[in-house]
Structure 1
Amino acid sequence: MATPPSKAGTKGVPRQHRRQQMLEAATEEFGTRGYAAASLPAIAARVGVTKTLLHQYFGTKEDLYVACLVPVGDRILATIRTAMGPDGTASHTPLRVLRALFTALEGQREAWFVLYDTTLPPDGEAVRRASEYWSAIDRLAAGGTAELLRTTGSTDPLDADALKYVWRDLVATLVRWWVKHPEQTPDAMTLRCARLFAAAAGIASEIPDGTAATRP
């Protein structure tokens, strides 16, 4: 039988286990409410410990956020790198990346919003560490989108730059939709994305390129 949440932080729980409980509770709090609205008392209550004990383990609210961010950021960054392959040109890369992300986030979907938190203070350690992950992921996205465009014959650097921004916002939108539909498994979401991409490709084939519409 699972231990009731109110007993999760009681005396006798090993320190490392209790620390992990706090991190999981904090990740959920930051991911669902955002850094600005997240409450240390609420996080402590989730685990069944005092706010004082939470401070003893992690320090300030910003310290706790960073402690949540690092494993999330490391996991997402490693997931994208693996999905893209050693040279960033794995076949069907967009769907591979999405499937890998959905799989990595399953069971803790709100973790995505810990990494991409729009309410972080404009200066300080929290935004600095988050920015490092954003930049690393953007570099991967830039390489992946440029490679994808090369397969279509486009060598325009502005196309690559525009597609990088589209891809970043598209992934965030898909994850946000997925969070609102917990019944959707990673496999189901991947198939849905494949259908959406196919539909988008069909629409694109109807658009004149300035001279004539092109079809496969």
Structure 2
Amino acid sequence: MTTLSSRAGTKGVPRAARERQVLAAATEEFGRHGYEATTVAAIATRVGVTKPLLHQYFGSKQDLYLACLNPVGDRLLGALRGVMAQQDTGGPSTPLRVLHALFTALDGQGEAWFVPYDPSLPAGTDAALRAAHYRDAIDGLAAIGTAELLNAAGSSDPLDADALKHAWRGLCTALVRWWINHPDQSPEAMTRRCARLFGATRTLLATGEDST
């Protein structure tokens, strides 16, 4: 029986390169179909390796999910924390800067956004707990940002802040879903589109106020 080299996968592909292929495919599958509906066999077939080889590289399905989740979660948190730490210099508004950071972190892999927000994760597992950690951290940053916006608008109602936080997450999710269906759009193009949409929304709301 031939033993696989620690540096090479099948068909002459180095192991490190093959692992990157597996993680990219698995992240898309988990993000698109959810943990429960995704199978290791489907990921192996998509990459062109055997199921035993994939298990040898990553272990169980949960281990593979975590191998996808951790870099995605760290990348998202790093990008969002970086924006939140920046000083307002009179450029694009904080929401637009946050969206640009989000689009940049997800560039070419929009499905990754849905990996930590997977409702099909088995409750109480390491996968579910780790995903909850990232969700809580992302939502915590959103809560800070939305509270600052409401304070600037003169509202200190905590329920307003909670409602806006949930609305913001829904907006991000909807924009990423649209982006997945329009992969030709760059992060910069998406940010410019959001700026136009925000501007149109402000105009519509102002028109509604004038008519009351």
Structure 1 residue 187 displacement after superposition: 1.6
> How many residue pairs align between the two structures?
202
How many Å separate the matches in 2 of 1:157 and 1:42?
45
In the alignment, what sits opposite 1:128? 129
In the alignment, what sits opposite 1:83? 83
How many Å separate the matches in 1 of 2:96 and 2:155?
20
Contact 2:100 2:188 in 1 (8 A): yes
Structure 1 residue 57 displacement after superposition: 1.4
In the alignment, what sits opposite 2:5? none
In the alignment, what sits opposite 1:187? 188
How many Å separate the matches in 2 of 1:68 and 1:35?
11
SS at match of 1:153: coil
How many Å separate the matches in 1 of 2:17 and 2:98?
31
Moved more, 151-160 or 168-177: 151-160
User: How well do the aligned residues superpose, as a CA RMSD in angstroms?
Assistant: 2.1
Structure 1 residue 86 displacement after superposition: 4.9
In the superposition, the TM-score normalised over structure 2's length comes to 0.87
SS at match of 1:38: coil
Check if 1:108 corresponds to 2:109: yes
**Overall identity of the aligned pairs, in %:** 61
Contact 2:116 2:132 in 1 (8 A): no
How many Å separate the matches in 2 of 1:168 and 1:26?
24
Contact 1:83 1:90 in 2 (8 A): no
In the alignment, what sits opposite 1:39? 39
CA 1:156 to 1:206, structure 2 compared with 1: closer, same or farther past 3 Å?
Answer: farther
Check if 1:200 corresponds to 2:177: no
Structure 1 residue 46 displacement after superposition: 2.2
Opposite residue 85 of structure 2, the aligned amino acid is G
Structure 1 residue 11 displacement after superposition: 5.0
Counting only pairs closer than 5 Å after superposition, residues 157-196 of structure 1 correspond to structure 2 as: 157-196=158-197
SS at match of 1:184: coil
In the alignment, what sits opposite 1:69? 69
How many Å separate the matches in 2 of 1:206 and 1:158?
26
In the alignment, what sits opposite 1:59? 59
Deviation string, structure 1 residues 112-158 (Cα, Å, up to 9, x no partner): 12222222222311111000000001110010011111222222222
Moved more, 47-56 or 111-120: 111-120
In the alignment, what sits opposite 1:146? 147
How many Å separate the matches in 2 of 1:111 and 1:64?
14
In the alignment, what sits opposite 1:5? none
The structure richer in helix per residue is 2
Moved more, 11-20 or 67-76: 11-20
Structure 1 residue 172 displacement after superposition: 0.7
Deviation string, structure 1 residues 12-49 (Cα, Å, up to 9, x no partner): 43332222222112112212222111121121122221
Structure 1: 5+ residue stretches without partners:
1-7
